[in-house]
Structure 1
């Protein structure tokens, strides 16, 4: 490796090891997710990493409901700050999921997809339940007998 002045610099064993990065999807618990040394080939920590990525994916989707959760009558500047804060946290989680998926581990990838799917499902089931309740509680809607 050259430092630009024509001199060769020796590379340590640890720097060679860190440069060896997986660039295709693979199965296995030997993965680095977000931080160097985590989950560190430990099966329990790998399962924890899977749940962490799943949680982040679900949280991203569920935070979309918080964007519109500012109470009516709130001062516009305060409402904007609240929505901006929620958006910042949502984007932070999204980038963490993206970096986790870039580990190219299939388990992490599936956990991210499952998390987004679970979060989306929770959002939609709540919206449909609320819509159905409003529909049946309106005075215009009187169920007819068949």
Structure 2
């Protein structure tokens, strides 16, 4: 493999090609953000929104974990709760089902984005919310019948 630094220094006369002009002159530089690409533990993270839960605040980090837990719990609740009754108009029932499906998918995507912060605590909060939600609403532990559910499973 050829060393391009050697080629530039010795074969072209030692001058580098001119660099392009600075794009965005006059704009304040943004703070440098480090994005984790592996799971890490700690309270210094950003979950869903820029600057949230803040840096070094254990209370705000705990609030973020509770928020992610509740979002995951809501996904399970919306997945297993019947809001449409059989005596409703088919058009009204179809529109209501579609709206609830959109809300469920949107919340599911928010949980996914929160987990993409790669914070171990956020991951455990999301899995815990899904687990407790399924235990309460999807399993037979709390009075569910032994018949399989005819509700569609979340595909988004």
| TM-score range relative to shorter protein | 0.7 to 0.9
Select which of 71, 94, 100 maps to 1:56.
71
More helix by share: 1
Segments of structure 1 that go 5 or more residues without pairing to the other structure are: 133-146
Aligned to 2:107: 93
- TM-score normalised per structure 2: 0.72
Alpha-carbon deviations, 1:46-103, whole Å to 9, x = none? 000001101111110110123x431112100000111111111101111110110010
Pairwise mapping of residues 1-146 of structure 1 onto structure 2 (< 5 A)?
Answer: 6-9=20-23, 15-18=30-33, 20-41=34-55, 42-66=57-81, 68-125=82-139, 129-131=143-145
Distance in 2 (alpha carbons) for counterparts of 1:65 and 1:88: 15
Alpha-carbon deviations, 1:97-145, whole Å to 9, x = none? 011001000000000000110111011346761427xxxxxxxxxxxxx
Segments of structure 2 that go 5 or more residues without pairing to the other structure are: 1-18, 147-156
What's the C-alpha RMSD, in Å, of the aligned pairs? 2.5
- TM-score normalised per structure 1: 0.76
